[in-house]
Structure 1
Amino acid sequence: MDIVSIIDRIGEGPAAALFGLITGMVFGIAAQRSNFCLRAATVEFARGELGPKVAVWLLTFSTAVVWVQGAELLGLFRSADARLMSVPGSWSGAVIGGLVFGVGMVLARGCSGRLLVLAATGNLRSVMSGLIFAVVAQMSLKGVLAPLRDDLAGLWVTAGGVNVNLLETLHLPNGAGLVFGVAVAILALVLARRARIGARVLLFASGVGFSVALGWVLTWNLAQASFDPVSVTSATFSGPSANTLMYFLDRNSVLEFDVGLVPGVFLGAFLAALVTRELQFQGFEGAAPMRRSMIGAALMGFGAMLAGGCAIGSGVTGASVFAGTAWLALLSMWVGAIFTDFLVDQRASRVLA
């Protein structure tokens, strides 16, 4: 059944939600089985290691780039049509929001995507942190924090009313993005071999990257077949978390890709944990960890909306189409996370020692 037939059978909105559900399930299964997490990678790097966490993140990142750039070369996707690329980007939002998100990610002990995956396995800490993240993201999008976000984002924006494509800005030839992705993938595999990571983990890590490309291709092809405008997007958890929350709170909300994505990730991660018998209820171990996670989740919610995406939305999805602000946000997230780990967790460890 092709996309036109799906639209004719269930409608454009439900089709978009279905594609979000499919993308989310692939992401959830792969992320749960590979333990993919930007926060874990940054902490490992901050402590002078290039071990399994960094290797898994690099493999996910690189395979997303390879799949997305390959799809574009084959005519299955066009990055210029992506929602991220067709609107102005914010350099100031990428820096400030990325730093804030990086701080929150370490405090909450997981990025927003990782919290969603953990919540599906019975981690009640992640359930609460994820809800706080979604609420603050919505407050930053349309609520009381929106004016502050707009002011900070407006300090420095991209010229021309669109985002910056780094490949075009650097005048690189067609295929340069694919070559870059392959090079990073080779580095990831070298690190993975050194860390003795098994083939199963590598397969699922690359599956997370594949889910990003899947989302881009599905929404782009849906946009080509739809009568009404459709946002060309993929995996991210800032806007979708807020939109999914409002879908269940506002009867006027409509089905879209975002609304299917978040339940899809939850369902995929739950099924993966169920099959492998890794479902286990977990809670906070005291007031201090609870406060820390709550603060971290709130910082991530605001930071992600300001940066234009979370660790997945900017760090993998946006970077896979070489959006300039996404790359800057990703760098800022690494910097914020590394300094927070050094100033908070490593310092606490030294005091206890």
Structure 2
Amino acid sequence: MSLAEFESLSTAVLAVIFLLAAILGFAMRESRFCTMGAISDVVYLQDWQRMRQWAMAVGVAMCGVTALVLWGGVAVGDTLYASAQLLWLSALVGGLLFGAGMVLASGCSARNLTRLGGGSLKALVVLIVMGLAAFGTLKGITAVARVRWLDSVHLQFNTLALLPELLAQASGWSLFATRLGLGLGLGALLILIGLNPRNRVDRGVLLGGAIVGLCVTAAWWLGGHVAEIAEHPETLEHMYATTYSGRIEAFSFVTPVAHTLDWLLFFSDKNKVLTWGIASACGMVAGSWLHALWRRDFQWQGFANTQDLSRHLLGAALMGIGGVTAMGCTVGQGISAVSLLSLGSFIAITGIVAGAVGMLRYLAGAE
């Protein structure tokens, strides 16, 4: 592949992921997709409708990604979440911090991107602070604590820390059959939970969840198949175009926001290039903005008072630190990584839910 062909492919991938993220942002805003909202509905109202929407999204993504992996459209070992190390303490602590933070910040990173598209200046402040906290946890002062105290505590396996690989190694079953059974079985179960006919749920809500799952599946296919480069024209290395890590990435919205700030602040630096994560974050805002114009409900919103501001600032900082520590947010770990059946994603999701429930109950008791 020539350099010109590589640049052309990279531009095309960035354009497609931007459009795919715009569809995701549009669908999330239309269906009110929000993991924090789903958890708060259960805690405060015993309403499981949006939790079933999340189950639908994960189920669709899990079935779709399993099919991609078995077909050969995604090399699971080249994904961002594939590692023989299980950073279980980082996943748990990061998840707890992120879950508590998203309650204080009125939604997770994805939710704040869609709120920004609708005119929320509160979301803009949250995203800026979250991005700064995330960057500090990637390379700054909190990164030292993360690496020294959390990442150093891990489990080492002889295979990838993914459920199919671990189960196949322990049982002696074929990896193909194990992934087929686990991926499609768990995915179908989650879809059935979403479709449970005994408890009615708005069709638009379930459709929104299904679209979210399909967008995540499409992102894995785009990043793992279309963007694959056998040999980089300059380094001759096998890599995946436009991703920051050089590995296969899907949707996640904490680290990409930090990279977006970095790209904007040092735009004239030729080493700062437009990446997959930046394009997806911008696409989310663009899609939700188009939805706001379509629904004619775009409206500038600000903080009610200094207490509201301080609460959102703390929540944003916790999300930035927690999202990087856990290697993902409610979309990154909660849908993208878990669709690969990553063991770490289940731990991170547990932490996120526990942190959110704990903070919701604390706020309810403090009022």
Global fold match (TM > 0.5): yes
**Equivalence for 1:122:** 119
Q: Matched residue of 1:173: which SS?
A: helix
Please identify, of 97-106 and 152-161, the stretch whose mean Cα deviation from structure 2 is larger: 152-161
Deviation string 1:227-250 (CA, Å, 9 cap, x unpaired) is 332220100012211111111112
Is residue 235 of structure 1 aligned with residue 251 of structure 2? yes
Is residue 185 of structure 1 aligned with residue 191 of structure 2? yes
* Distance change (3 Å), C-alpha of 1:226 and 1:282: farther
Match of 2:180 among 159, 164, 175: 175
**TM-score of the pair, normalised by structure 2:** 0.87
The answer (yes or no) to whether the contact 2:159–2:166 under 8 Å persists in 1 is no
**Equivalence for 1:207:** 211
Output the CA distance in 2 between the equivalents of 1:313 and 1:182.
Answer: 21
The answer (yes or no) to whether the contact 1:84–1:323 under 8 Å persists in 2 is yes
**Equivalence for 2:199:** 194
Output the CA distance in 1 between the equivalents of 2:344 and 2:75.
Answer: 18
Deviation string 1:103-143 (CA, Å, 9 cap, x unpaired) is 10111110011011111110111111111111111111112
The answer (yes or no) to whether the contact 1:63–1:185 under 8 Å persists in 2 is yes
* Distance change (3 Å), C-alpha of 1:188 and 1:6: farther
**Equivalence for 2:173:** none
Output the CA distance in 2 between the equivalents of 1:103 and 1:10.
Answer: 41
Q: Matched residue of 1:180: which SS?
A: helix
Please identify, of 154-163 and 219-228, the stretch whose mean Cα deviation from structure 2 is larger: 154-163
Q: Matched residue of 2:196: which SS?
A: helix
The answer (yes or no) to whether the contact 1:17–1:259 under 8 Å persists in 2 is no
**Equivalence for 1:245:** 261
**TM-score of the pair, normalised by structure 1:** 0.90
Output the CA distance in 1 between the equivalents of 2:117 and 2:3.
Answer: 29
Q: Matched residue of 1:47: which SS?
A: helix
TM-superposed deviation, 1:26: 2.2
Unpaired runs of at least 5, structure 2: 169-176, 233-238, 241-246
Output the CA distance in 1 between the equivalents of 2:323 and 2:86.
Answer: 13
The answer (yes or no) to whether the contact 1:16–1:255 under 8 Å persists in 2 is no
**Equivalence for 2:39:** 42
TM-superposed deviation, 1:255: 2.4
Runs of 4+ in 1 over 4 A off after TM superposition: 4-7, 160-163
**Equivalence for 2:324:** 305
Output the CA distance in 2 between the equivalents of 1:321 and 1:196.
Answer: 27
Q: 2:118 is matched by which residue type in structure 1?
A: T
Please identify, of 135-144 and 157-166, the stretch whose mean Cα deviation from structure 2 is larger: 157-166
* Distance change (3 Å), C-alpha of 1:74 and 1:110: same
Please identify, of 44-53 and 294-303, the stretch whose mean Cα deviation from structure 2 is larger: 44-53
Q: 1:175 is matched by which residue type in structure 2?
A: L
TM-superposed deviation, 1:319: 0.6
TM-superposed deviation, 1:48: 6.3
TM-superposed deviation, 1:153: 2.9
Output the CA distance in 1 between the equivalents of 2:3 and 2:211.
Answer: 25
Q: 1:236 is matched by which residue type in structure 2?
A: S
Q: How does 1:262-277 map to 2 (within 5 A)?
A: 262-277=281-296
The answer (yes or no) to whether the contact 1:84–1:163 under 8 Å persists in 2 is no
**Equivalence for 1:254:** 273
Output the CA distance in 2 between the equivalents of 1:119 and 1:226.
Answer: 38
**Equivalence for 1:329:** 348
Please identify, of 74-83 and 289-298, the stretch whose mean Cα deviation from structure 2 is larger: 74-83
Q: 1:180 is matched by which residue type in structure 2?
A: L
Output the CA distance in 2 between the equivalents of 1:100 and 1:93.
Answer: 10
* Distance change (3 Å), C-alpha of 1:320 and 1:136: same
The answer (yes or no) to whether the contact 2:134–2:254 under 8 Å persists in 1 is yes
The answer (yes or no) to whether the contact 1:65–1:178 under 8 Å persists in 2 is yes
| Number of residue-to-residue matches in the alignment | 343
Output the CA distance in 2 between the equivalents of 1:60 and 1:140.
Answer: 29
Output the CA distance in 1 between the equivalents of 2:290 and 2:136.
Answer: 31
**Equivalence for 2:63:** 66
Is residue 220 of structure 1 aligned with residue 224 of structure 2? yes
The answer (yes or no) to whether the contact 1:68–1:216 under 8 Å persists in 2 is yes
**Equivalence for 1:348:** 366
Output the CA distance in 2 between the equivalents of 1:48 and 1:151.
Answer: 41
The answer (yes or no) to whether the contact 2:29–2:114 under 8 Å persists in 1 is yes
Unpaired runs of at least 5, structure 1: none
* Distance change (3 Å), C-alpha of 1:29 and 1:5: farther
TM-superposed deviation, 1:216: 0.8
Output the CA distance in 2 between the equivalents of 1:320 and 1:6.
Answer: 34
Q: 2:356 is matched by which residue type in structure 1?
A: A
Q: Over the residues paired in the alignment, what is the CA RMSD in angstroms?
A: 2.2
Output the CA distance in 2 between the equivalents of 1:19 and 1:329.
Answer: 29
TM-superposed deviation, 1:179: 1.7
TM-superposed deviation, 1:210: 1.1
Is residue 150 of structure 1 aligned with residue 166 of structure 2? no
Identity of aligned residues (%): 27
Q: 1:194 is matched by which residue type in structure 2?
A: N
* Distance change (3 Å), C-alpha of 1:79 and 1:210: same
